[in-house]
A and B are shown apart, each in its own frame.
Chain A
Amino acid sequence: MPERFRLRSRTSARTALILLAVLLVTLPFLTEATLGRSWIRVLDFALLYIILALGLNIVVGYAGLLDLGYVAFYALGAYLYAWLASPHFGLHLPFWAVLPLGAALAGVFGVLLGTPTLRLRGDYLAIVTLGFGEIIRIFMNNLNAPVNITNGPQGINLIDPVNVAGLSFGKTQQVLGLTFSSAHFYYYLFLAFTLATVFIAYRLQDSRIGRAWVAIREDEVAAAAMGINTRNVKLLAFAMGAVFGGLAGGLFAAFQGFISPESFNLWESILILCMIVLGGMGHIPGVILGALLLTVLPEALRYLGDWQRLVLGEVLLEPTDLRMLLFGAALVLMMIYRPEGLIPSRQRKREFHAEDGVVEQEQSSLYDTRG
């Protein structure tokens, strides 16, 4: 009997996987047919935010380092893409060369940010990383004189779209009898990168490095005393998270065709952090759900304006205000009723609903081991 059960569950898992694959492949066309073309862009952004959230999850969820300046890496990736593939400097390198460079640059900055902050933890680390995020944004805002590097608040325009084998993702084209808009093309590109990110996140989680990250999150002193080089392993977490941020930044620049410092403010960092907290910190499906909800729901709420006009004849509540209100309320309710996130990992759940014997390890100061 159990044998047959296992067989059945395995085939049903395979069926579910095939259905999911079919859904993911046809999603842009289904969306276009039902909700309209503008929603494909929403899907694109949802995928982009999944990459960002999974990247930040390495730093915050696995290693337990609260990073409020994550958007800086996103900005670095985007700006590097703009510098190397736009008329701004007259360079037009192909995307497959620029994206890895952007990711690598972000990774280097991850280490640069990590190095001076290694001794900090918790709130103090959050403040310093927040400052770092703002510094990058302000640099981008002001580096237009004496040498025009970032074009200041105007941002950089006419960034090259991704171009695969002569097929430009920037314009609508017919492929195999189907009409692909720019948003369609980017959907598939982003989907590929998102799947790769999910794969890497899973592999890292179940690895020697992943266990070392969690060990540092749980008890840094014990981790050091068990032979983990806490400095290097923490820097690695910063760098890995930053790499995904830089990658997403490059994709964003190519997709939008225009970037400015506006896009990389503190609010973005907080939004990405909210996605992780909402979904379930450290748990990959939770983080994906969080990213999807926080990109799709605000868009859906736009319809509230139309609805008000239709039913009440006027817009009483501005949808953008309402979005913020509902967003805030949702987070407060979350913190009260499900602090561990919507779909937390098993261990997080236990952590937040501590049963007898599970006592939060106090880590007041680094080398405080005196009993």
Chain B
Amino acid sequence: MLKVVGVSKRFGGIMALQEVSLNVHEGEIYGLIGPNGAGKTTLFNCMTGLYSVSAGEILLDGEGVHNQKPHRIVQRGFARTFQNIRLFANMSALDNVRVGRHVRTRAGVWGAVLRDRRTRAEEADSRQRAHDLLEYVGLGNKARSLAGHLSYGEQRRLEIARALATEPRLLALDEPVAGMNPAERQQMRELFLRLRSQGLTLLLIEHDVKLVLGLCDRVAVLDYGRKIAEGIPSEVRQDPAVIAAYLGGDGA
């Protein structure tokens, strides 16, 4: 479904990514792990159009999406969340999710001013879907709260709801359980499994190795901008390069 072919990204003299290639299949949970500064988020930003790539290709369903505008990529069914939560802090939780509907709705200025039947139907639909999504991620009673006033875990879930509102087929989550307690992590894990069971493909950056290895169907390991391993979790766990680069410190 998503194919990354030899992608490199250079920031001045620093090679943040060097010829990274990945292959994410439809319907799987694909994990991206690696030490801090390995280039995971950079790769995410390249894939979702926030960065241009210096070399290589990114193919979504066989079509190149690298160096396209972020909104085009969202339109094609690839949504994301951010590592450092980026909600619209002064909008209500509901409106945050409704912004996610933007790409699947069409009303323009005339629709807004005249509020014709189609616009009214579209607005009602977007409101209903937003409520449903908040319910889905467990924020059903927070619709009117400002996003900035939600707790940390709630903000993470709201970001997921917002991304889901764009009707993605592929959802990229950048450290979705960072800073969460074990109970919250368990909830998130269940949410991810539920999403997969509904046919969504998930791409996960995570530091929590236990979560990644337990949850993901396949994993890739990045270190210093290079992919050093890829495969099913049990294999990757045994990979000597991975142990040296990443798990080594734990004496695993």
Residues 341-371 of A, flagged 1 when their CB comes within 8 A of B and 0 if not, give 0000001101100010111110000010111
- Does the CB pair B91–A218 fall under 8 Å? yes
Interface residues of B in 160-209 (CB under 8 A from A): 162-163, 166, 174-175
CB neighbours of B80 from chain A (8 A)? 225
The answer to whether B95 touches A211 (Cβ under 8 A) is yes
CB atoms of A218 and B89 under 8 A apart: yes
Find chain B residues with CB under 8 A from A224 CB: 49-50, 69-71
- CB-defined contacts of A367 to chain B, threshold 8 Å: 45, 50-51
Interface membership of B82, Cβ < 8 A: yes
Q: How far is the CA of A355 from the CA of B123 in the complex (A)?
A: 31
Residue of B nearest to A219 (CB): B86
- A350 touching B146 by the CB < 8 A rule? yes
Number of A-B contacts (CB under 8 A): 144
Q: Does B25 contact A (CB under 8 A)?
A: no
Residue-wise, chain B 117-137 has the 8 Å CB interface mask toward A (1 for contact) of 001001100100000000000
The interface residues of chain B lying within 8 Å CB-to-CB of A240 are 109
Within the complex, the shortest CB–CB distance from A273 to chain B, in Å, comes to 21
A214-B91 CB under 8 A given contacts A224-B71, A369-B45: yes
The reply on A301 being an interface residue by CB < 8 A is: no
Known A218-B88, A222-B87, A371-B83; contact A228-B103, beta-carbon cutoff 8 A = yes
A226 within 8 A of B: yes
Bound complex: CA of A209 vs CA of B41, how far in Å?
30
Q: A219-B88, A227-B103, A347-B91 are in contact. Are A355 and B149 (CB under 8 A)?
A: yes
**A222 nearest in chain B by CB position:** B86
Contacts of B102 in A (CB 8 A): 208, 211-212, 215, 226-228
Tell me the nearest residue of chain A to B82, going by C-beta: A369
Please state if B98 and A226 are interface contacts (CB–CB under 8 Å): no
The answer on a CB contact under 8 Å between A208 and B105 is yes
Report yes or no: B89 in contact with A209, Cβ–Cβ below 8 A.
no
With A208-B102, A219-B88, A347-B91 in contact, is A230–B71 under 8 Å at CB? Answer: yes
Known: A215-B99, A358-B90. 13 other contacts (CB 8 A): A204-B109, A204-B113, A209-B112, A211-B102, A224-B69, A224-B71, A225-B49, A226-B99, A226-B162, A240-B109, A367-B51, A369-B86, A371-B175
